[in-house]
Amino acid sequence: MRIASSLELVPFAWHSVAVSLWKRFRFFLLLGDTGSGKTEWAFEQSRLANLDFGPLVCSLSPESDRSDIWGRPQLSDGKRGTVSSFVDGPFPLALKEGLTVVVDEFGTASMDVRGTLLGCRDKLIVTNPLNHEMIKVHKDFRMIATSNVESVRCNRSATQMIAKSLFDAFVVLEVPRIEIDTIRTMLHREFPKAKENNLERTIYLWDSYRTIRDDTSDDSQSGESFLSYRAASQLMQCLEDGVQENQAVLSCICSKFITDDDLFRVAKLRASIS
C-alpha cells in the first residue's frame, strides 16, 4: 500500500490508530458526530494513498442509488450512431486500481444501496451489480466509510440481518468529540493573526453553549449538546470582522440547534440575556 505523510491536518489522538486499522483492513468505518474530524481525515488518507490520482470520494444521502457507487451507462455519438458504454463509479474504480475510496455518510443511504457491498466483504472477485462485470479485487483496495451512530441503526426487522452482515465486515473506530485544547489549536492554525481576546472569547462561548440543556433534561443525561468546530470557526470569523457579539452568537452558535426546538429556544434565550 502506498503511504505518505500528511501535513494537512491538526493531529488528533485517534489518528495513529485509524492509520493502523486502515492499512490492515479492507473495510474501515469511522463512527462519530458531525464535525468530529472523521471526514477530513478520510479525505486526506484517500489523497495520500492514491497519489497522483487524488482523493476518490462517494458522498451518499437517502436519495442515492446504486449508480452513485457502481457507475452508470453513458451515451456518446459515434460514426455508427449513438454508442452506449459504462462509466465506472468510484467503488469499482478503487477495486480495480487498488485505490482508497471514501464513502461519506454511509449510514444515510438506503439498505438497497448499502446491501450491494455485501458481496465485496472477503471476496477476491466481485460482480458489479449494474453491468455484471467481474472485477478482480486489487490487494491495495481500501474503503473508508464515515457515519454517525444514529444513521447506521436499522430498526426494521426485514433489513436487520442485512445490516448486521454488512457491518460485520467493517472494523470500526469510534471518533471522540473534539475537546477545548483541540479547538484552540485549530483556531490558531486557521486564524494565525487573530486577536487573542477574540480567540479566548470564541472558545469560552463555544464551550458554554455546547453544554446547554432543554427543560426536559435530567441528571442522567450528560447535558452536552452538539457543536462542531465549524461553529467556533464561524464565530471567530465574525468577531474578527467586527460583527456585534450577540448577533454573531445567534448566527454562528444558536443556529446550530435549529433542528431541535427546545435547544434552539434555550440557546436564543441565553443569547438574549447575555
pLDDT of residue 156: 53
Residues 59 and 147 in one domain: yes
- Whether 133 maps to a domain, the answer reads yes
* C-alpha to C-alpha distance for 149 and 177, rounded to whole angstroms: 13
Produce one character per residue of 129-143: b if its CB has 16 or more CB atoms within 10 Å, e if not: ebeeeebebeebbbb
Average pLDDT rounded to a whole number, residues 248-265: 91
Residues 32 and 162 in one domain: yes
Domain ends where: 155, 174, 193? Answer: 174
SS3 category, 180: helix
Residues 91 and 223 in one domain: no
Residues 23 and 155 in one domain: yes
Residues 84 and 143 in one domain: yes
- Whether 122 maps to a domain, the answer reads yes
Domain range for 38 = 15-174
* C-alpha to C-alpha distance for 36 and 211, rounded to whole angstroms: 16
Produce one character per residue of 43-66: b if its CB has 16 or more CB atoms within 10 Å, e if not: bbbbbbbbeeeebbbbbbeeebeb
Residues 214 and 184 in one domain: yes
Average pLDDT rounded to a whole number, residues 41-48: 93
Please list, in sequence order, all residues whose beta carbon lies within 8 angstroms of the beta carbon of residue 171, skipping any fewer than 6 positions away: 21, 24, 25, 27, 28, 29
- On the 0-12 / 13-18 / 19+ scale of CB atoms within 10 A, 97 is middle
pLDDT of residue 124: 92
- Whether 32 maps to a domain, the answer reads yes
Residues 27 and 75 in one domain: yes
The answer to pTM > 0.85 is no
Answer for the pair 171, 23: CB distance below 8 angstroms, yes or no.
Answer: no
pLDDT of residue 234: 95
Write down the residue that cell numbers 491536518 correspond to.
9
Domain ends where: 123, 141, 174? Answer: 174
Q: How many CB atoms lie within 10 A of CB 37?
A: 23
Pairing of strands 81-88, 27-31: unpaired
- Whether 4 maps to a domain, the answer reads no
- Whether 6 maps to a domain, the answer reads no
* C-alpha to C-alpha distance for 38 and 61, rounded to whole angstroms: 17
Residues 38 and 119 in one domain: yes
- Mean pLDDT, all residues of the chain: 85
* C-alpha to C-alpha distance for 256 and 66, rounded to whole angstroms: 32
Residues 31 and 146 in one domain: yes
Residues 187 and 123 in one domain: no
Q: How far apart are the first and last CA of the chain?
A: 54
Domain ends where: 174, 189, 214? Answer: 174
- Whether 87 maps to a domain, the answer reads yes
Residues 117 and 44 in one domain: yes
Answer for the pair 202, 232: CB distance below 8 angstroms, yes or no.
Answer: yes
Find the CATH number of the domain harbouring 165: 3.40.50.300
Residues 199 and 162 in one domain: no
- Whether 224 maps to a domain, the answer reads yes
Average pLDDT rounded to a whole number, residues 216-233: 64
- Split into its structural domains, the chain has a count of 2
Residue 224 has pLDDT above 60, yes or no: no
SS3 category, 86: strand
- Whether 197 maps to a domain, the answer reads yes
Q: Of 208, 245, 210, nearest to 227 (Cα)?
A: 210
SS3 category, 33: coil
pLDDT band at 272 (very low <50, low <70, confident <90, very high): confident
